[in-house]
Amino acid sequence: MKQDLIVILDLGSSQNTVIARKIRDLGVYSEIHPHDITAEELGKLENVKGIILNGGENRMVDGQAVEISPELYDLGYPMISVDYPQSKCKTQMSGFLNQELLEKFVFEDCGAKANWNMKNFIEDQTELIRKQVKDKKVLLALSGGVDSSVVAAMLIKAIGQQLVCVHVNHGLMRKDESESVVKVFRDELHANLIYVDAEERFLGKLENVADPEQKRKIIGGEFIRVFEEEARKLEGIDFLGQGTIYPDIIESGTKTAKMVKSHHNVGGLPEDLKFELVEPLKQLFKDEVRACGVELGLPPEMVYRQPFPGPGLGVRCLGAITRERLEAVRESDAILREEFAKAGLDKKVWQYFTVVPDFKSVGMKNNARVFEYMVIIRAINTIDAMTASVEKIDWNVLERITNRILDEVENVNRVCYDMSPKPPATIEFE
Ligand code: XMP
């Protein structure tokens, strides 16, 4: 292994990730592990230079104080404990682990080297993946989103043709999105890629379904069924690759922190399809995942793309989806993205997209009355997607986008700009 490692043991602090980030910012790799890790498990981690016992406000779980296994003290690693009164370490402190103390612990007490960088991380993960997978095959659902794309690139580097990627085009992708997945992964990275054109199947299932939750359930459920059908056709697959990243694990709940929301990347596969998981990004934060993707040679537009919901344009073609309105969403979204890129807004605005409601309004085209749909533009900024504010777009840019949509997108005679922050509105409309 290339990188030195500082282990943080989670004894109920909400600051675990903050400390992990601070250590990584010092150029030293750091991982958070549960408090009940055994000496044997810890012994399997390579290049451990020191351990931080990180206690805090959640130190009682089910009426019992969380504690580490006493045998960890005998392993001989440098240890520091923070807010952990039961600690038996010598370097013990309460309150905040400030920068000075942290640097002293990491570099002086542990003698760790600042050798954490993406190149080393990729080499380490490549080695770990090869050790785990050996000569077996890994299946991966490749949506084209940042996380699944980076996992795919990492697995291609580690095991090449032993990776089987399945890209399901549910017909709700943005313009040219599926084509770019095929171009990058099959043509350029020579991945073993199965492309499933499931557009008709998804649109068929969604016909006349107007309820947003129902639409989401159908899209999610159908996705799993299509993926499962492909998995059953393949032989000798033992592993399932997943784009799980560190925030997914935190939000799904740790042993000392409650669940915020459950995350399923390819959740809900049937019990009889038994796979062992390969999750090479599970210790990375989102910005680190992007850096990893760049280092692996993925195109910047794939790595720095804005968030895109799993149900895709399905939740932006409001109400019951029709092909006509879906096309209007797709074309107007492409124009918006093109114009935002030209104006440099793609690097400034967190998320921007268009939606098309399921009602019409009166207008005039070529001196005749028309009754057509409207496009709503939404552009927001946020840090964590829990709250969001509206981007104050330059009027000239808005005018240009509006004119292009009215000129180029069929069945549309009106364009609106959504001025609503979150809350009370959510970012998406459905
Ligand atoms: P809302 O609409 O809840 O969206 O304010 C917050 C963020 O989450 C994205 N979003 C999703 N992402 N699957 C995803 O992976 C989904 O089903 C989904 N729904 C919403 C949304 O685009 C925004 O960035």
Tens digit of each residue's pLDDT (9 = 90 or more) over 52-90 = 999 988 888 778 888 999 999 999 999 999 988 888 887
Burial of 360 (0-12, 13-18, 19+ CB in 10 A): middle
Q: Does ligand 1 have an atom closer than 6 angstroms to the CB of 61?
A: no
- Check whether 226 has a pLDDT greater than 50: yes
Average pLDDT over residues 204-214: 97
Ligand 1: does its nearest atom lie under 6 Å from the Cβ of 123? Answer: no
Ligand 1 center from residue 244 Cα (angstroms) = 16
> How many angstroms is it from 343 CA to the middle of ligand 1?
25
Per-residue pLDDT tens digits for 108-156: 999 999 999 999 999 999 999 999 999 999 999 999 999 999 999 999 9
| pLDDT in the model for residue 139 | 96
**Measured from the CB, is residue 351 less than 6 Å from ligand 1?**
yes
How many angstroms separate the alpha carbon of residue 428 from the centre of ligand 1? 7
- State whether the beta carbon of 426 lies less than 6 angstroms from ligand 1: yes
Structure confidence at residue 261 (pLDDT): 55
The predicted model gives 288-301 an average pLDDT of: 95
Q: What is the pLDDT of residues 374-388, one digit of tens each?
A: 999 999 999 888 899
> Which tokens is 335 given?
């124009």
The atom of ligand 1 lying closest to the CA of 350 is: 24
Alpha helix stretches (DSSP H) within 182-279: 199-206, 212-233, 246-251
What value does the mean pLDDT of the chain take? 93
Mean pLDDT to the nearest integer, 201-211: 98
pLDDT at 248: 81
Return the pLDDT at 266.
46
Give the pLDDT band (50/70/90) at residue 97. Answer: confident
Closest CA to 215 of 140, 322, 291, 120: 322
Question: Residue 414 above 80 pLDDT?
Answer: yes
Task: Report the alpha-carbon distance of residue 290 to residue 383 in Å, rounded.
Answer: 16
* Rounded CA separation 309/151 (Å): 18
Helices 118-133/146-159 angle, 10° precision: 70
Over residues 300-334, the pLDDT tens digits come to 989 999 999 999 999 999 999 999 999 999 999 99
Distance 124 CA to ligand 1 centre (A): 32
Residue 7 β-bridge partners: 31, 51
Whole-structure pTM value:
0.89
